[in-house]
Amino acid sequence: SRDQRGFEPVPRFTIYLIKPTRYDDEGYPLQWRRSMVPSNALACLVGIVRDALDRGVFKPEIDVELVAMDEIHSIVEPEAIADHIAARGGKGFIGFVGVQSNQFPRAVDLARRFRARGLPVCIGGFHVSGCLAMLKTMPPDMVEAQALGVSFFAGEAEDNRIDDVLRDAYAGALEPIYNHLARTPNLAGAPIPQLPLTELDKMYSSHACFDLGRGCPFECSFCTIINVQGRKSRFRTPDDLEKIIRANAAIGIDRFFLTDDNFARNAQWEAFCDRLIALRDQGFPVRLAIQVDTLAHKVKNFIPKCVAAGADQIFIGLENINSDSLEAVKKRQNRIEDYRAMFLAWKAYPVVITCGYILGFPNDSKESILRDVETIKRELPIDTVYLNYLTPLPGSEDHKRMVEAGEWIEPDLNKYDLSHRVTHHPRMSDAEWEEAYVAAHRSFYTFEHMERVLRRMIAFGSNKKLTTLHRLLVYREAVRLEGVAMLESGFGRIRRRRERRSGLPPENPLIFYPRNLLRTAVVWSRAAVTYARMRLMLRRLLRDPKRMDYRDSAMMAEGETVSLAAETRTTDYALRRGERVKASTAQG
Query: Quick one: how far is CA 220 from the chain centroid?
Result: 19
Q: What are phi and psi of 274, to 5 degrees?
A: -60, -40
> Where are any strands of DSSP class E within 82-240?
91-96, 121-124, 151-154, 177-179, 208-210, 213-214, 234-235
- The conformation of residue 9, written as its DSSP 8-state character, comes to P
pLDDT value for 10: 79
Helix (H) or strand (E) holding 169: helix 162-171
Residue type, 228: V
pLDDT in tens, 113-128: 999 999 999 999 999 9
Rounded to 10°, the helix 465-477/447-459 angle is 160
pLDDT value for 219: 83
d(CA 76, CA 265): 38
d(CA 20, CA 39): 10
d(CA 391, CA 403): 13
Closest CA to 557 of 312, 316, 348: 348
Taking residue 234's Cβ as centre, other Cβ atoms within 10 Å add up to 20
Q: Exposed, middle or buried by CB within 10 Å (0-12, 13-18, 19+), for 247?
A: middle
- Per-10-residue mean pLDDT of the chain, 588 residues long, equals 53 97 98 95 98 96 96 97 93 98 98 98 98 96 97 97 98 97 95 94 90 89 91 94 97 95 92 98 96 93 97 92 60 59 96 96 95 94 97 96 96 97 98 98 98 98 97 97 95 96 96 97 98 98 97 84 39 42 35
pLDDT value for 218: 82
Closest CA to 193 of 147, 234, 142, 245: 245
pLDDT value for 322: 77
Closest CA to 183 of 216, 143, 222, 232: 232
Q: How many helices (H) and strands (E) does the chain have?
A: 20, 16
Q: SS3 of 567, please?
A: helix
Is residue 76 within 8 A of residue 111, CB to CB? The reply is no
